[in-house]
Amino acid sequence: MYPASELPGFRLDTPDETSDDVLTALAKLGDSVEIPKLLLKVISEYLRTYTGDDGRPLFSGGTYFGAADPDAEVTPEQQQLDVVDSFSMSITLMLSTLGFLKIFRQSVRREDIRREIRELEELANIRLSAAMVGLLRSFTVNAFDPGSVAGRALLRTVNQTGAPERRILDDLRRELRPMRAGLRDLTIGSGSEVDLDNENLLFECGWSWGIVKDAPDVDTPLHVGPQAKGVAADTPFLYFTVSALVGVQDLWSERTRVLGLLDDDQLTLSQALQRRWDITQRYWRTIAMYGRGTWPLEDIPWKTSDEKESEYYSLVVSAIVVQSLVNNRTGDVDLNRVADVLEELAIRARIIRRAVPGDPPVHLHSPGVQVNLQGSDAVGPPLVWVVSDFAVKLLIRTILAASIAQSTTTRERLLTLADSVWRHLMLRRNNEGPGRGLWDQPGNVYSDIEVRHEEPSWYFTERVAEFLVAAAQASGDSPLRSPELVDLAYQMLSEAEHLLDQELVTRPLIAGQTIQPKLRSIQAALSRARTIITSRPATANALVIDALLDLERLTTARDSASEAI
């Protein structure tokens, strides 16, 4: 659904406009008419499967939850706990579904199918609303004393110059003042009950791994079913914060607005999430890029407020910074420093460098980084969430950064990195079995990994699809234009047009013919070059060079003929 909603060439909602290559790839699912009908059936089955008997949409982590103690077992009650990843993914999926249904309806005449579409729209809207409510109840603000463990860790992170702590503390409070003011005004969901009036306290904000403990219900007229009780710790988790930020921004995308996918009550929830999105982005960007010297982001690995450190945390903070740079279209000065970080992470994770036997960074890919789900022990043994998407997450951020580069040098640098990471990922595809061609088989690259996966990882494969969509969108942008190249193209075009004028004046005319075919072809090429010279100067240059060569051949031929006479 994601490529079909984001890329015009992959549309499935208008049977008459579905591309032939897309139909060929999906031939096993039917033709242009049968594929949308099958999607209706599959989406319907999904929505009904993940709706409880009480009408509440289910966002449980299920088997993705693991026990921190290998000898312990995850309880059935724990498997049913809601998780932020599911909230975020559901927003993207439901918006894609609603857009698909809205357009597909226009091609449908049968009343039974139109009725099915209406039922699916109702179910999709319920799940979308419930996912938004879940994210509002999973947002958290953690305030702490500068002298606490969290306070000392934060001050140590931002103080990259060894400045007096008092000065750093005063400056950091000043930098965070706008975010503090914004958080005070929150009135919906969790995170609004934290007292931030005491400016002596530091804080961090973002999303926990699930609905936070004692999170108040969200008062909304929307049908979302009973709102589940939360158990998650009232503390932001970097991984889940990034996951929430990625999904939430789809709520105000151009497609969502143009198609009018949200009603007035959903817009209220969307606006509440957007405020949290803005504040969270600004907070983590301020922390990551703090100071005039070395950025905290550049001090790899990143250390969290609970003093856990890993290259993976540097990667997720980089993801927030890249997303912020994309939204603000920041210049290449900041982007080059981020590119340094991304390249360093690719090296440290042994993605663009060869791993040696016993190399610790290999564990970033398998088994992955364990995130302790604090608060989960309220209903069973402590749980962990294992993340092993380092390579593909790095690839997505790299291609997004490349999409906003303003100079050819910066863009080429980032695209070269993206190509290297993509080659690494291509080696990690399954070579056999039902998941042939899908991901992930890290043992293909790292000899230390003996585990072989018989089934594909949809968790990993979905993120590869996310990258492919981002890469396709980036390739649709206009190529970068160098001012020097534009100026050179104009100079060369001027010379070519002058030489063409000379040819038109000196070339003898044939009766009944105003211009020879060769000169007509040269004139058309130069006219085309002038049309595209500001948007595609290199292409214009190529056309001018071909025209100049043709003109030189004509001149040479005429001179040779004159000498012969």
Residue 388's pLDDT band, with cuts at 50, 70 and 90, is very high
Give 117's contacts (C-beta < 8 A, 6+ positions apart): 40, 101, 104, 105, 108
pLDDT in tens, 507-544: 655 554 455 788 888 889 999 988 888 888 888 889 99
In the predicted model, what is the mean pLDDT of residues 232-251? Answer: 94
CA atoms within 13 A on the CB side of 538: 6
pLDDT at 433 > cutoff 90: no
Instruction: For tokens 């993801």, name the residue.
Output: 319
pLDDT of residue 174: 93
DSSP state of 262: S
- 309-318, 376-385, 472-481: lowest mean pLDDT where? 472-481
Name the percent of the chain lying above pLDDT 70: 95
DSSP code string of 334-364 = HHHHHHHHHHHHHHHTTSSSPPPTT-GGGGG
The kind and range of the H/E element at 401 are helix 390-403
Distances (CA, A) of 482 to 228, 415, 486: 55, 17, 6
| Amino acid identity for residue 96 in this structure | S
> Cα–Cα distance between 410 and 332 in angstroms, integer?
7
**Higher pLDDT among residues 78 and 329, named by residue:** 78
Residue 399's pLDDT band, with cuts at 50, 70 and 90, is very high
In the predicted model, what is the mean pLDDT of residues 94-102? Answer: 94
pLDDT of residue 296: 96
Average pLDDT of every residue of the chain: 90
236 with 206: CB under 8 angstroms?
A: yes
234 with 208: CB under 8 angstroms?
A: yes
pLDDT of residue 342: 97
Query: Comparing C-alpha atoms, which of 501, 474, 482 is closest to residue 539?
Result: 482
pLDDT in tens, 289-344: 998 889 999 999 999 988 899 999 999 999 999 998 888 766 667 889 999 999 99
Distances (CA, A) of 499 to 176, 196, 391, 503, 544: 63, 73, 54, 6, 11
Going by their DSSP bridges, the two strands 302-303 and 369-373 should be labelled as unpaired
pLDDT of residue 216: 92
**Higher pLDDT among residues 554 and 222, named by residue:** 222
- The backbone torsions φ and ψ at residue 551, rounded to the nearest 5 degrees and listed phi first, read -65, -40
pLDDT of residue 563: 64
pLDDT at 136 > cutoff 60: yes
> Cα–Cα distance between 360 and 506 in angstroms, integer?
75
> Cα–Cα distance between 249 and 270 in angstroms, integer?
9
Taking the domains of the chain in order of start, what are their residue ranges? 76-81+138-475, 483-564
Query: Comparing C-alpha atoms, which of 136, 134, 140, 132 is closest to residue 193?
Result: 140
Read off the tokens for 113. Answer: 């199918």
245 with 323: CB under 8 angstroms?
A: yes
Sheet-wide strand order for 369-373: 65-67, 383-387, 369-373
pLDDT of residue 248: 95
Q: Please tell me whether the peptide bond between 296 and the residue prior to it is cis, using omega within 30 degrees of 0.
A: no
> Cα–Cα distance between 1 and 543 in angstroms, integer?
41
Using CA of residue 152, residue 158, residue 159, residue 165, what is the dihedral sign?
negative
pLDDT at 176 > cutoff 90: yes
Q: Please tell me whether the peptide bond between 301 and the residue prior to it is cis, using omega within 30 degrees of 0.
A: yes
> Cα–Cα distance between 549 and 541 in angstroms, integer?
12
Tally of CB atoms within 10 A around 151: 18
> Cα–Cα distance between 91 and 97 in angstroms, integer?
10
In the predicted model, what is the mean pLDDT of residues 95-110? Answer: 92
Name the percent of the chain lying above pLDDT 90: 66
pLDDT in tens, 205-221: 999 999 999 999 999 99
pLDDT at 194 > cutoff 60: yes
Q: What is the pTM of this model?
A: 0.85
Read off the tokens for 253. Answer: 């995308």
Instruction: For tokens 């998650």, name the residue.
Output: 232
Which residues on adjacent β-strands are paired with residue 465? none
> Cα–Cα distance between 28 and 30 in angstroms, integer?
6
pLDDT at 565 > cutoff 70: no
Distances (CA, A) of 541 to 478, 480, 537, 555: 17, 15, 6, 21
Query: Comparing C-alpha atoms, which of 56, 454, 109, 397 is closest to residue 227?
Result: 56
pLDDT at 561 > cutoff 70: no
pLDDT in tens, 261-291: 999 999 999 999 999 999 999 999 999 999 8
> Cα–Cα distance between 402 and 421 in angstroms, integer?
14
pLDDT of residue 556: 84
186 with 276: CB under 8 angstroms?
A: yes
Query: Comparing C-alpha atoms, which of 516, 521, 513, 522 is closest to residue 495?
Result: 522
pLDDT of residue 291: 87
Read off the tokens for 197. Answer: 């009036």
In the predicted model, what is the mean pLDDT of residues 380-403? Answer: 94
Residue 479's pLDDT band, with cuts at 50, 70 and 90, is low
DSSP code string of 200-229 = TSEEEEEE-SSSBTTPPPP--SS---SPPP
In the predicted model, what is the mean pLDDT of residues 28-49? Answer: 93
pLDDT of residue 123: 95
314 with 301: CB under 8 angstroms?
A: yes
pLDDT of residue 303: 92
